[in-house]
């Protein structure tokens, strides 16, 4: 089930720290720090891709369409295409810090209920 697109998802989930390094029309870079129990819930973006780059810790990424699981260590990255549902988790027992590069296009965040579209 699809949720309603929002332009700012920061109120939808908690993280230890969130910083925006670059925001311009069609592109942005944000930094997220997640504790071992925090997640970025199932969602997708209509127009933009997400590229995740791990600075510290280990990232576990669950994807749908097709179903897939990706694990990333520091220095590794992975791109999720627009329209592909995904959930981001911390795969370690300490904080994880990642850069999220989003673009090119208008940002939106579409929540997915129960991991299905």
Whole-number Å distance between alpha carbons of 45 and 17:
22
| Per-residue tokens: 111 | 């929540």
DSSP code of residue 11: T
| Per-residue tokens: 58 | 């280990």
What residue ranges define each of the domains in the chain, with the CATH number in brackets? 17-115 (2.60.120.10)
Instruction: Tell me the residue length of the chain.
Output: 117
Q: 91 or 7: which carries more pLDDT confidence?
A: 91
What pLDDT band is residue 1 in, cutting at 50, 70 and 90?
low
Whole-number Å distance between alpha carbons of 116 and 21:
31
| Per-residue tokens: 42 | 């199932």
pLDDT > 50? residue 115? no
């Amino acid at each position: 089930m699809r949720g309603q697109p929002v332009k700012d998802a920061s109120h939808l989930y908690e993280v230890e720290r969130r910083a925006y390094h670059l925001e311009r029309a069609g592109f942005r870079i944000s930094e997220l720090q997640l504790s071992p129990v925090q997640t970025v819930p199932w969602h997708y973006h209509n127009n933009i891709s997400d590229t995740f780059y791990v600075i510290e810790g280990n990232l576990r990424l669950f994807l749908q369409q097709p179903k897939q699981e990706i694990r990333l260590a520091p220095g590794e990255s992975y791109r999720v295409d627009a329209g592909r549902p995904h959930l981001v988790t911390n795969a370690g027992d300490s904080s994880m810090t990642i850069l999220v590069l989003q673009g090119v296009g208008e940002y939106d965040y579409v929540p997915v209920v129960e991991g299905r579209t």
